[in-house]
Every structure is written in structure tokens, then in C-alpha cells.
Structure 1
Amino acid sequence: MKFYTQTIKNISFLLISLLVFISPINKSLAQEKGEEETYSISLVQTAEVGKEIIEVEDKKILTETYKVEKGDWIWQIFREKGLLQKQNLAELLSMLKTLNKDLADLDVIHPNQEIVIPLVISPVGAGPAVAKKATEPISPETLKDIKLENYTIRRGDTLVKVIRSRYEISDEKLYREYLELVRGLNPSIEDLDNVSPGQIVKLPIWTPQVVRAPVVHKASLKPEHVAQKARRTALAYQLGQILTHMGEEWVHTGHHFIPLKSGGHIDLKGDSFPIVNLFNGYKVIVDLYNAMPEKMGTVIESSWENYAIVHLNENDNLRTAFDKVLPACHYSKIYKLGEPLDLRGDIPFRIAGDWIIQPTGSPGGEKEKMIMITLVDDHTPRTPRAIQDFLRTQGIKVIDYPPADDAFEPAAAKLEVLKAGNDISSLIETILNLTGQPFSRGVEIPIYKSGKSNFNLVMKADFLLKVNEKDCIIDLKGLEPDIATLLEEHQFKVLLLAGDKDPSSIVSKTLDLLGVQFDSKPHDFMAAERDQQKNITLTIPGIVFQANSGKNIFATPLEIPDDIALFLSQRGYDILNLTLS
């Protein structure tokens, strides 16, 4: 009976909902965007367990109560629920604050906090749709007093998140003024809610007057203060460049507003207190001038577990400053100068630099396994692009700092690698040709002939050649020991290779027969002509000998990656692949 009563109530609720929401809908609204259905249909269809329809003023809102988990933030929640792509995002954010009176700052939410999320907003009486006014590019005259910065979109960015991380700006100013200004500055961006990694966006540096107020000239600084500021600015630029190359975010403009759990917030100027936003969720405040009071730092770190503060002093240079910043980043492992790292594989290699960093990874799981940073100067050779490309395939990003002015290198054409051939016979012929050794194949050689000519011994040589005025035979079929002895008695030098299936062994024995010098031990190649403490060493098995043309031949049984083949070619080697096809 109880089940029956409850069923009747559910049916009644659905009927009432249908009567409330089924109404004529303007066709232009329904056609405005394919994936956004009309409000009334959406509300009826999505009113389900965990969701509730409430009425605020003249609107009906489909809502969902969400319990905040550690690491959550509003923009992430909106993205997961597909709200960032909505055309009425500004209205949804405004309604979010209306529904959550305790949500004073959209950038500050706490674990276990319950938030009412507006999913769909339906006007009680929807009027005709209003056509959007086309965005007009801003004229140069309008821009002359506005300071701009270029921002490169990174994976996981939304434009609103980027803007909020840089400037103190209210929701009203953001959605009514600032985003319109951004649209005008970036007319090629059709949808500000849909930006792609690598895209460059012009952002106006925001102040309450959008930097249109007259410039107020400050009192002149003393020369020593000017010099100190110049050094600190240069150091901040260097730190920012390295961290950006690592894939982290360096924010050094605008103001940072850090809320306190006890209420209020701390305001830090970005040019004096740049912040590193790390992929692992941590944030590092860099106190460039060692000006932050100790108590203020304690308050920040006690309020937020993911914040760390690094104080620099006037004697810090790039190395000492980076040595302070890195431990605060909570990376998995950091190797310093003098701590090389050996990595195994088909081509074992050792990396050694000023720092080798093992990050903790990124949300997408695409972060490098290792980052190698080497400080270089104008006289220090940089890591060849071919080696950087090879290490990138192994999950290692190489950063030589500062980057060279001509850091861009065009892609090289694929190198032709010499092939050993299909079988051992082809391999021997390749070696003989490379060394310039004349030879004959399949030659019949009379070994013994009786005086009465009634008994003759003739053998067929696989390879017949003359080395240092001595006749030599290379046999692949398997001569009888007595025949080999008889040949040697007749002043022939015999190389028996039947049964030897190792191409490296065959090459070594052939070169030895020819009297050609060779080196068959594994070879160590240093990536750059610089100190071994700051270098990359590759260990590649193979045989090195000199061809008749004067070129060095590197014969190896490995399938050499194209990047390594290019590197060896740049070192003057031709690659001979000993794999028999």
C-alpha cells in the first residue's frame, strides 16, 4: 500500500511538472546552438534523483547539491558538468552566488562544503530571443593607453581561470566589461569559452580603471636601489623562463589575493612576489626582495597546505635561487650537479646536469618522466637537437639555459642507413666493398694435381681474394678439416665462417683477415663537447672501422633510432645495420 501511494505521488509530481514547463518556445532560441535544448524540455528531462527544481524570482532553476572534495575548485566543477560551454555562463555564475550566500569568493571553497550548483535556468515566460551584437575589433586609438600582455593557453586552462589568477576583478566587471574588452582585442577568437593549448590571447592588464588613468610619476630611486631592482627583475625573468620551459606557470604580474581561513585576505604584488602554479597542485610564492614578514608567511602556510614561501636575499644568483625554489615544489626526486643518473635500455645512457627533476606528474598523465636542466654560457656547447629529440622519446625533457638565439633547427632529412643484406654472404660482400677489397666469388681452385693427370683435387671458393700478396679464401659452406689443412699447405689463408650466425662476429673476423683496424667494444658518445658532469653519455654496441673512402663506419646489430643516426652522422659516422633481412 505504501509503495502504491508513493507511486501515485511520483506520477502526480511529473504531471504537475509537465503542466508547468510545457509552453511555446521561440524557434530562434531552440536553434541558437545545437547541443543546448530548450529550457523547459531540459528541466523536465533532467529532474532526477540528486537534482531539484527551485524557483528564484522569475526563474526556475534545475540545481544539484555538490559536496566539495579536496583539490576541487569552482571552474573544474563547472567544466566537469559541461557548464563552461554554456552561452549563459555569466548568468549561471551569478545564480551560483545567489544560491550560496556563504560563497563570497568563487576561488575559495573548502572540502566537505556543500554547494548548490545551477545546471539550467528557465525563465517563467521566455520572450523572443535577442540577437547578439557582433564583436567589433578595438581601434588603435582606444588601445593607446591600455597595457597588454600576451598569454599562451596551456592544457587545462580556461580564459576565466587565467584572468582570475592574474587580476583582482569582480564578477560584474569580469562579465560586463573585461571579457568584452578581451573579445575586442582578440576578434579571431569566436568563443572565449573554447580556447586551445598553444593559442596566444591578448589580455589587458586590469586595474579598476583598466590602466586608463594618468601616469603618476614616482619619486626617483637611489642608484643602489635601482641596481638591486634590476638584478631582482633579471633573476625573476630567468626563474620564470626555466619554470615555464618545465611546463609550470609563472605569474609575476597583477596582484595575488590569498584568502585566509580566518577571514580576510593577503594582497601581494606580482612583480615582488611572483607565484609558481605547479601541475601537482602546489603553489610557491617567491619573495624576491626578502620583504615578507615572517608572521605573514606563517599565516599563509598555516592557512593553506599547498602554499610554500621561498625567501631570496640580495646575494642569491640563479643557481642558489633555484636551489631554494625546487625543494618547495614537492617534486618526487631532485638530482643536483655531481649526481648523474644511469638509465637502461637498448641504448643505455647517463644524464648529468645542474638539476635532474622527476616531477610528480600532471592531471593528464602526459608530464615528462624527467627534466634535465643545464646552465650554459656563450662558450659552452649546447645539447644537439637530435639528442634532445631522442631523450624526449624516452620521457626526458632537456633544457639548456639560457636558450640559444638560434634555438630553432629545421627538421633534418631522414638519413640513409647502410644495410647488411639478406644473408651472411651479402654481409661479407658489403664489408669487402666498403674496405675496397677486390674479390671473386664461386671460383674453382685446383688444389692437387697428380703427375699422370689421373687425379685432380679442385674446390669451389665462396670468396677468393688477395691480401698483402697472399691468396685468401672465405668459406661459408663448411670445408672438411683435411681440405682446409691442404689449402694452408699450398699457401692459402682460410677463414671458416660456416655455422657462425652472429653478424658482429663475422664482421670482426672478416676485418681481421683483411688487416683492417677496428674497435668492437661498446662505444661511449658524449652529446656535447663539455664537462662530463653536465653532459649526456650514450653507450652504443657496435664495431667501428674506416672505409676505403675515409669515412668512419659504425656497424651495429641494433635498429638505431633516426635521432641517434642523425647524431652519429653529425659526428662523421655512416651507420651499417647488421640486422640480416
Structure 2
Amino acid sequence: MDCRKIMKSSACKIIPVIVVLLSSVGSVWGAQPYKIYTIRKFGNSDIVCDSYTVQQGDHIWELLRRKGSISESDFPRFVSILKRFNPHIVNVDKIYPRQEILIPLKETKVKDSPPDTGPRYITIPIIPDVLYITYEVRPGESMSRIVAARVGLEWNQLPENYVHTLKRLNPDITDMNVIHPGQALRIPELPAKGPTHTVATAGTVAGRLAGKRSVSPATEDLPPPKASIPWWHRVVSKTIAGLGGKLLASGQCYFPGKDREDLTLDLSAFPVLEMEDGRHLVLKSRKGLSEKLKMAIRSFWDPLVIVQIDPEEPAATSLDKVFRAVSGGKVQKILDLPKLDDGIRVSLRGDWILSQGDQEGKQHVYYCVTLIENPQERTSTPVVEYLAKENVRVLDILAEGKKRKETAPSQENPPKEWQVLTIDALDQEAFVSGLVGAMGHSYEPDVPLSFDYSGFQVETVANIIHGENALDVVVDFGTFYGDAKSAIEAGGLRVVSISPEDESLAIISNVLMAVGIPFTKDPVFFGANRNVFKTVSLSIPGLMTLKPREKMTILMESSPDPKLVEFLREKQVRILKIKA
């Protein structure tokens, strides 16, 4: 249950469209007044749809689950409608940033359905974000007097948009100068005049009150918090948002008590974590949370968890308490994820690793949160963006008081030869020739070769690789028989045999060993320049050369993700794609 909805009739009430307290008057009263929706036909029904632009880190099932009534009542039908209206989405499990999606929100049955003539549109007015009270007019009172008593400003001092909102909240009043005793008025609150801190954004609070949830994307940097708010609240807010929850750290919650008494929970003193599964966690860092108030809260919020925070303890300790309470103690520091679709294995290492999606039908989302000492310890941006597409959020937080000076990024452009090169492996001889050339060596076919075989001098031709340190290697594509290979090697040449059944990586491995190029299989890369026990690592399937004093080259069979290409360029590693 939303804490701002637990109110008696005499207390503040909320319009369930958008509500949030911000530090600026203009920001509250400046909301857009209209929204355009699309109406599409589906069978004998009109479907009201909302156009949505995919954001970085969105996953379609979590996105669609938050929107509209169709998905709640009949999810299979919802998916059918979704596919019909979005033919450009080939695989509903994969969506991409900046992709446009038409999301079905509400279905209306039409008895005499006209033929489908294409999409129609409706424009719906939206009331701005407003917190208001209901007030009963007394004899002798005027509108200006009532408003002045409530907000502390004379009529001529009110923001222009305040008066406009007052009129929209009271549409039955045609003349603000004419009101009657006993008449019920809706009086908007003014936002806080000082720098009131609100962790929840307008978007996230709007999502909650409209029955939708907004998931904030993972970010690498958090702005310095205001002095009155613990900086680690920002860390909690960013992380919990990704797990489908919210940190409520400003405003008040009202709970009906006995004898018509309203009990108030001050969210700035006792912040609340409101989780998607219905749990509420109160962060208690001071006295003042009475047993009476606890009982009233528990009567509405079940289950309720109270997290005891010591204001004098290190921020990391407070964060650890909060994350463990949120996850039921299931916080890890190291987690090896299942192999990704492109074969890459990811190992998460950080201060706190949390996950969401244990329930049936839910996509797993992982959050890896790490406190860092300086900006140079941040995880590589391409790695963060690559993992975000795989529902892994990497959040590096610069601890309070740490140095924030940034190092200017290198302006050096990667050489053209670092573009992803492709070698076709369909023809084995052409494949070996291309591989050897990419490694900086030469390949010669049909070179005259003479060797002793059982006392006879045999004259033939062979394919030769000129390897490291003037080492020549004979490549046998199955043309040598009997003891010919042993006889050639007895003459001082090395022979590498390749059969038609050999796979491309096996051929590469044999050739590299024969010509003396060191390599490693499935190399591991660390995503940040910091303690490896707090660093995300990626194991990339393939072979990587390790030639001293030369750029490393990784040979892969799968097509690398563009973000992965960026990351490997940062590491000065060339990519050689093997086309099977």
C-alpha cells in the first residue's frame, strides 16, 4: 500500500495521477497538461495504447508487467495484442534502446464494431502533481482568506500556476470570489520553500500512484548529496529502484489511530523503503518511533521490517544493513552468472550483489554495487552498457569525501587495423593462409621439398609457414601418408597436420603452437582498474595471442557485441572473427 494513500478524510489527500514534493515552485506546477493515446482495433475491441521509447536497461517483461490492465487480467492475450501491434519486434525477449513500442493499456468491447480504418487518437488532460487538503467553508470566509491561512501567502503573492491548479481542482466553482458555507474545497499545498531533499523523482512517484512502476537505470556517478541527507541514501535509492522498490525520504505518512487520532510518520526522520512485493522497511536512526506508531504502521504495512541505523557508524555498515534487510540476507560479494547467449561468462565481484527474479516467470536482474576511492576505479563504460543489456546493473559509487577530480579521456583513435577482421574458415587452406597473415607471418603454398624416406630421397611440394625465429613449418592437409610426417620432422622441419574434421579453433591452436606464438584459451578481462576482488570480470570464448611486445589478438567464432568491441579496444586487443 502506498504510504501517501493511508489518510483519513481530515488529513491531506492525493490525486492519483502524479504527486511529489520538490524544492522549486515552478517544477511542481509546470507539468504537461495533456497526453495523447492511440486507439487500435483488435477483433471486436478497441485497445487504448501508449507509445513508449525503450530506455537503456529496460527488459520487456518487466516493462509490460507495469503497464495497463490487460496484462494483469489476461497476460497471454496481452502478449498476442502486443505482437500484433508491434510487428517490428521479432523476438519479444529482446528490445533495444530508442526502439518504439506500442503498449496495450486498456481494452473496451464494442458491440457494433466498425471496420478497422487504422489507428485513432485521443487527447486526455492531465492534472499536475498536486498534494491537497479538503476544507469545508465556514460562514464569512473567502477563498483568498482560506488559501492565505493554509499556504501563508496573500492572493497576489501566489504563483500563477497555483491559482490555475486551484481552479482545476474545483471545477464546480465558476467564480473564485463566490463560495458558500458548507462547501467542500480542495486546497493545493505549496512545495517546500527551502532545499527540501526528495530521493524519489517525479517519474518514479508518478509511476507508483498511477499503478505503474518506473525502474531507474543504473548509473556510475551520483551527484554530491545535500549536507542534511546521508549520501548513502542516494546509493540505496538507485539500487532499490532497479529492484522494483522506492526510497521515500521526504514528506509524511498518516496512519489512523485509536479515538480518531492521526499518527504521523515523518519520512525525513524515518525513511521508508517501499518494495514491489509489498514489504516496507523503516530506517530508524533516531528516537521518536513510538510503540503506538509502530502498531499503527504494522496494521497497514505487513510485513514491516525496522532497520536500526546508527548515525555514527560508517556508511558502508549502514548500506550493508539495508541491503541485507532488503534481500533477506541474500547478499553476496562474488557471483558467477550463467553463461550468456554469446558464450561469455561473467563473474560479479563487489561490496554488495543483489538479485531480483526468484519468482516464477520473472527475468533475473542483478545489481552489483561497489564503493570506490577515486573516479579512475570506475568500471569501463562499455562493460557497464554491455552488461545492462543482459540485465546486470553495475553501480560504482564514489564514497563521500573521496577525490572527484576526473582524468581526461584519451583522444587517441584506435588504428584502422583494429577494426574487427573476419577470416572465412570454409576453405581450410585459405583459412590457414589468412590466419598466418593476420598474425604477421607469411604462408607459401607448393614450395619444393626434399626429404629422406627409408633410404630414398623424396622430391615433392608442400605448404610452408615461415614462423617465429626463422622457423619453417610444413602444413599437411592430409596429403602425407605413412611415415612421411616423421621423415620430414627428422630432417629438422616441424609439421602441423590438419584434417577435414578439425574445427576452426582446433586448427588455430595447432598452427599457433607450431609457429611458436603463445596464447591462452577463453581469456579473462577485468572491467576496472582496481582490486580484482571488487571488479567485474568477463571470460570471452576464443583464443588470445600473448606475443611479447606486440598487441594481443583474440580469435572468436561468435560475433562480438559492439560494446564488447569498444572494451577490447580500450584494452588494446585486436579482434579476429572466424566465420565458420
User: TM-score if structure 2 supplies the norm length?
Assistant: 0.54
CA distance in 2, matches of 1:344, 1:511: 30
Picking from 425, 431, 437, the partner of 1:433 is 437
In the alignment, residue 555 of structure 2 is paired with which amino acid? A
Alpha carbons of structure 1 residues 340 and 290: separation in structure 2 relative to 1, 3 Å: farther
2:313 equivalent to 1:313: no
Task: Please point out which of 386, 389, 399 is paired with 2:385.
Answer: 389
Q: Is the 8 A contact 2:382 2:567 kept in 1?
A: yes
SS in structure 2 of the partner of residue 349 of structure 1 = strand
Offset from partner CA, 1:350-376 (integer Å, 9 cap, x none): 21221111235899x877522111112
Amino acid at match of 1:271: S
Per-residue deviation, 1:233: 4.8
Alignment of 1:109-508 (within 5 A): 163=130, 167=131, 169-170=133-134, 184=161, 210-211=189-190, 230=227, 233-234=230-231, 236-237=233-234, 239-244=236-241, 248-260=245-257, 264-329=261-326, 331=327, 334-336=330-332, 339-345=333-339, 346-359=343-356, 369-378=365-374, 381-402=377-398, 416-422=419-425, 423-445=427-449, 458-463=459-464, 465=466, 468=469, 471-488=472-489, 491-499=492-500, 501-508=502-509
Q: Which amino acid letter does the alignment assign opposite residue 442 of structure 1?
A: D
Residues 354, 375 of structure 1: 8 Å contact kept: yes
Q: Whole-Å Cα distance in 1 between the matches of residues 38 and 506 of structure 2?
A: 68
List runs of 5+ in structure 1 lacking aligned partners: 1-32, 36-74, 82-134, 136-157, 193-206, 216-228, 450-454
After TM superposition, give the deviation of residue 304 of structure 1 in Å: 3.0
Alpha-carbon distance, 1:495 to partner: 2.4
Q: CA 1:539/1:465 → structure 2, altered by over 3 Å: closer, same or farther? A: closer
Query: Taking every aligned residue pair, what percent have the same amino acid on both sides?
Result: 20
Which amino acid in 2 is paired with 1:478? T
Letter in 2 for 1:356: I
Map of 1:515 onto structure 2: 516
2:423·2:431 contact (CA, 8 Å) conserved in 1?
Answer: yes
1:456-478: per-residue Cα shift (whole Å, max 9, x none)? Answer: 95433233647655654212133
Superposed CA offset, 1:225-255 (max 9, x none) = xxxx956554545544554465532233332
Structure 1 range deviating more: 400-409 or 253-262 = 400-409
1:303–1:466: structure 2 CA closer, same or farther, 3 Å change rule?
closer
State the SS of the aligned residue for 1:355. strand
Q: Residue deviations 1:495-545, cap 9 Å, x none?
A: 2223451322322222232223x1334322222122233221222343322
Q: Deviations over 1:359-412 (max 9, x none)?
A: 35899x8775221111122266011122222222332211112498979999x9
- CA spacing shift, 1:301–1:381, aligned 2, 3 Å: same
Give structure 2 stretches of 5+ with no counterpart: 1-36, 40-66, 74-124, 138-145, 151-157, 170-185, 195-225
Corresponding position of 1:196: none
Counterpart residue identity of residue 578, structure 1: I
Q: Kindly provide the CA deviation profile for residues 191-217 of structure 1, in whole angstroms up to 9, marking residues without a partner as x.
A: 99xxxxxxxxxxxxxx967449999xx
Structure 1 distance, partners of 2:135, 2:324, is 36
Pairwise CA distance, 1:552? 0.8
Rate the CA distance shift 1:186–1:532 in 2: closer, same or farther, 3 A: farther
Structure 2 CA distance for partners of 1:508 and 1:316, relative to 1, 3 Å: same
The 1:213–1:361 alpha-carbon spacing in structure 2 relative to 1, beyond 3 Å, is closer
Q: Distance in 1 between matches of 2:193 and 2:452?
A: 110
Kept after mapping to 2: 8 A contact 1:256/1:270: yes
Residues 1:440 and 1:324: Cα distance change in structure 2 (over 3 Å): closer
The aligned residue for residue 525 of structure 1 is: 525
Give the conservation status (yes or no) of the 8 Å contact 1:471–1:493.
yes
Return the alpha-carbon distance in structure 1 between the equivalents of residues 71 and 566 of structure 2.
44
C-alpha deviation, 1:342, in angstroms: 1.5
Kept in 1, the 8 Å contact 2:243–2:365? The answer is no
- CA, structure 1 residues 406+281, in 2 after alignment: closer, same or farther (shift >3 Å)? farther
Distance 1:471 1:342, change over 3 A: closer
For the residue of structure 2 that corresponds to 1:480, the secondary structure is coil
Task: Assess, with a 3 A threshold, how the Cα gap between structure 1 residues 368 and 444 changes in structure 2: closer, same or farther.
Answer: same
* Superimposed CA distance per residue, residues 11-52 of structure 1 (whole angstroms, 9 cap, x where no aligned partner): xxxxxxxxxxxxxxxxxxxxxx998xxxxxxxxxxxxxxxxx
Alignment of 1:19-168 (within 5 A): 163=130, 167=131
Over residues 423-445 of structure 1, what are the superposed CA-to-partner deviations in whole Å (9 max), with x where a residue is unaligned?
A: 32233212321333233223354
Between the aligned partners of 1:509 and 1:273, the Cα distance in structure 2 is 65
Equivalent residue for 1:550?
Answer: 550
Greater RCO structure (CA 8 Å; 6+ sep): 2
Counterpart of 1:280, as a letter, is D
Shift of residue 273, structure 1, vs aligned partner: 2.5
Q: Distance in 2 between matches of 1:438 and 1:186?
A: 82
CA distance in 2, matches of 1:425, 1:214: 77
| Cα distance change of structure 1 residues 367 and 283 upon mapping to structure 2, 3 Å threshold | farther
Could you say which residue in structure 2 is the equivalent of 1:147? none
SS where residue 538 of structure 2 aligns? strand
Structure 1 residues 275 and 492, CA, compared in 2 at 3 Å: closer, same or farther?
closer
Give 1 or 2 for the bigger CA radius of gyration: 1
SS at match of 2:369: strand
Report the Cα distance in structure 2 between the residues aligned to 1:537 and 1:214, rounded to whole angstroms: 47
**Residue type matched to 1:335 in 2?**
V
Residues 260 and 266 in structure 1, CA contact (< 8 A), matched pair in contact too: yes
Specify the code of the residue in structure 1 equivalent to 2:377.
P
- Relative to structure 1, the CA distance from residue 408 to residue 76 in structure 2 (aligned partners, 3 Å threshold; closer, same or farther) is farther
Contact 2:450 2:457 in 1 (8 A): yes
Tell me how far 1:576 sits from its aligned partner.
1.9
Per-residue deviation, 1:554: 1.5
